[in-house]
């Protein structure tokens, strides 16, 4: 067996961390970092508060790539909690990566960094499941070059993370790839009309993350939308296709009844 990259997953006990960790554990050396460890995890977890830089630094020792998932996920969370937890945890992940000589950090951003676009037509109709007079082949796609439009305190923190990642890439040379993750849920299928457009299946998530881990060193900073190949997808994925070879396999329409 060849060299296995050491991958640190922050927030490893959550849903996304579990999906990624279990799928990559055969091909990579996985380490977790979380405020708690999950009994079913097949990897060692450093238990620490991600808002405490000194406490998390040991977890970064010898790590090649960090997958930073640490965040409170409640869209209605107060600014005090988002500021104290999410923004601080994101900064600490970047700073710990820099101090430890990590080569690449993959930041779990979110579609909520641009969620206000969904108030505009045709996206508002699509998320409501109203496809009348709409051609899925003619939808103007939302690209990562368009301005951020956060829809919540949570989205603001994700926009912060993207910009902080840009700074750490430009100023310190850390390779940072931000993934604006769509809808990823435990069943791995759409549960409400919006999710027929926004679904990211488990296997497409794993493929995208794997492509980012193994991306060429010339990828110094990038933002990608994490979404499956859904018929009603309105986020552009052409840059991830071009830069890292992402080819989503699933389309939410297969669950349409």
Q: What angle do CA 75, 81, 87 make, to 5 degrees?
A: 90
Contact 138, 204 (CB under 8 A): no
- Count Cβ neighbours within 10 Å for each residue of 71-84 and write b for 16 or more, e otherwise: bbeeeebeeeebee
Structure tokens at 154: 């949570």
Structure tokens at 191: 């549960």
User: Which residues are CB-neighbours of 37 under 8 A, at least 6 positions away?
Assistant: 12, 13, 45, 47
Largest CA distance in the chain: 56
Q: Which of 154, 168, 225, 246 is catalytic?
A: 154
Task: Say whether 154 is catalytic.
Answer: yes
User: Which residues are CB-neighbours of 4 under 8 A, at least 6 positions away?
Assistant: 27, 28, 29
State the pairing for strand pair 221-226/44-47: unpaired
User: Which residues are CB-neighbours of 181 under 8 A, at least 6 positions away?
Assistant: 16, 108, 109, 110, 111, 200, 205, 226
State the pairing for strand pair 65-68/6-10: parallel
Provide the 3-class DSSP secondary structure of residue 94.
helix
Structure tokens at 86: 């999410």
- Active site amino acids: 154
């Amino acid at each position: 067996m060849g060299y296995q990259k050491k991958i640190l997953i922050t927030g490893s006990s959550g849903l996304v961390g579990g999906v990624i960790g279990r799928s990559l554990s055969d091909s990579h050396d996985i380490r977790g970092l979380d405020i708690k460890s999950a009994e079913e995890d097949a990897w060692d977890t450093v238990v620490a508060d991600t808002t405490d830089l000194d406490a998390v630094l040991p977890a970064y020792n010898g790590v090649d790539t960090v997958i930073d998932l640490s965040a409170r996920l409640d869209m209605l969370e107060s600014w005090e909690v988002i500021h104290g937890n999410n923004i601080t945890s994101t900064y600490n992940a970047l700073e710990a990566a820099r101090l430890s000589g990590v080569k690449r950090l993959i930041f779990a951003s979110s579609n909520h960094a641009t969620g206000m676009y969904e108030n505009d037509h045709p996206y508002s109709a699509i998320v409501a499941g109203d496809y009348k007079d709409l051609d899925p082949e003619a939808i103007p796609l939302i690209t990562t070059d368009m301005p951020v439009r956060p829809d919540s305190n949570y989205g603001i923190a994700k926009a912060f993370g993207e910009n902080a990642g840009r700074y750490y890439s430009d100023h310190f040379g850390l390779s940072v790839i931000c993934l604006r993750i769509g809808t990823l849920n435990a069943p791995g299928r759409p549960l409400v009309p919006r999710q027929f457009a926004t679904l990211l299946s488990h296997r497409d998530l794993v493929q995208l993350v794997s492509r980012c881990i193994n991306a060429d060193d010339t990828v110094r900073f990038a933002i990608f939308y994490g979404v499956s190949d859904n018929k009603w997808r309105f986020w552009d994925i052409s840059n991830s296709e071009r830069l890292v070879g992402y080819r989503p396999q699933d389309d939410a329409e297969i669950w349409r009844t």
